[in-house]
Structure 1
């Protein structure tokens, strides 16, 4: 028995808190507030399960948001690709017309091709820009790190109390 901790007649004791004053919580001789290790471990595991479920819900919400961003960027990229294809086809038509004749038909084909290629390039560039702003579930990763630290501290504290080093 620790002589610095006042004992009660019923075998329980008060633990001093960090500032030297007595805590009002009673702690039994086993160090777990009257609860067994199995009960504490079971509670710890249940809290862990609830925490994991909450983290999974957060991850799903974040991934849904990022998927919406990805689909918008991919749509613009696909649209830009289609316009670029049309521009390339028109450019091919220009080459054919230019070889066939040196008259204004090919000049108009060249103008259309240049405009389509410019528009397609701009749309594709915008799509790539949007795709670059997609991130992983950063809040979930951060809270999982914090949860791991909490679990480690809790397990260490339980182990210390079990061995009487509290």
Structure 2
């Protein structure tokens, strides 16, 4: 019987290697699956945190857009009133208001026609995504082809 010196600094490594060697494939697969699930959950949490941060930034930007839209509306309103008052200096108030109203009606009609033509170009169904999903489903049914 040979005597080997006891070296405490190597014992845990040997013990770990021995326990891994003795572990069944099922146990190893279970450990890998558990680690993968943990990693996936951590990645999802990171993604959630990033999305929350970006949503906060987007919310603040949307608030600024809303404020700019309101300021633009007020500018147009007072410019319309100024135009009405200016025209009222050379004609009756009723005609001045009618002219400004007609100008806004023409602007509204032009924007409606332009918006309608652009809306016809919108395709709500994501064609490329649908196509790739069909390809993925086909591959899943026949993975060797």
RCO higher in 1 or 2 (8 Å CA, sep ≥ 6)?
A: 1
Name the structure where strand makes up a greater proportion of residues: 1
Q: TM-score, normalised by structure 2?
A: 0.48
Name the structure where helix makes up a greater proportion of residues: 2
Q: TM-score, normalised by structure 1?
A: 0.42
